[in-house]
Structure 1
Amino acid sequence: MSQLLPFVGKTVTILTSDGRHLTGKLMGADQTTNLILNSTIERLFQPLNSTKPSETVSHGLYIIRGDNVAVCGLVDEEIEKEMDWSEVRAAPLGSMKHT
């Protein structure tokens, strides 16, 4: 928890072990990295060769189990506002493998 404490109350992006991309305001975390996000959105990126726009799905209050968190990082909110996320394309992320 101590490493995530500075992120509480700020907007973060989470990449999950199953390849999902979630963004929201971090409301809290515990010692096993279970996260509580508010105003959460999920970005569904289209493949690189697609002409369809990428999508954003609103989830609101969202809890992510710690064993499903692959990456948690701060969002630069000024850059976030300037981005046209519908134009962003990305290859799908593979699942994490636990060995």
Structure 2
Amino acid sequence: MSLNAYLNKKVCIITVDGRTLTGNLMSCDQVTNLVLQDTIERIIRPADDEELSMEQSHGVYVVRGDNVVMCGLVDEELDKSIDWTKVRGEVIASTKHV
């Protein structure tokens, strides 16, 4: 399936190193290089971590195609209803094959 249907929509990207990025998909190409606008990285902490989960703004962000594991549409209404500082979860392990 082509990502062209996701252009100018909010997407969530999981990267090879386990990072979670959300933003508006501005551009993509045939090798899945992606350009996001208003990019937010969500840093989700484990339940036993005293530090709060957080969101870090990155603005315009380029993700190389070989670093993309997953790209999906975000339900914006649901996304806005979540307090991401209170979300807890285990760290996503790297998917890089060595």
- TM-score using structure 1 length: 0.94
Partner of 1:31: 30
Give 1:1-20 correspondences, 5 Å limit: 3-20=2-19
1:48 shift after superposition: 1.8
Distance 2:33 2:90 in 1: 27
Give 1:1-99 correspondences, 5 Å limit: 3-98=2-97
- Structure 1: gaps spanning 5 or more residues: none
Q: Percent identity?
A: 50
RMSD after superposition = 1.2
1:49 shift after superposition: 1.6
Aligned-partner SS, 2:42: strand
1:98 shift after superposition: 3.0
List structure 1 runs of 4+ shifted beyond 6 angstroms: none
Distance 1:97 1:85 in 2: 27
- Amino acid aligned to 2:11: V
When the two structures are aligned, how many residues end up with a matched partner? Answer: 98
1:13 shift after superposition: 0.2
- TM-score using structure 2 length: 0.95
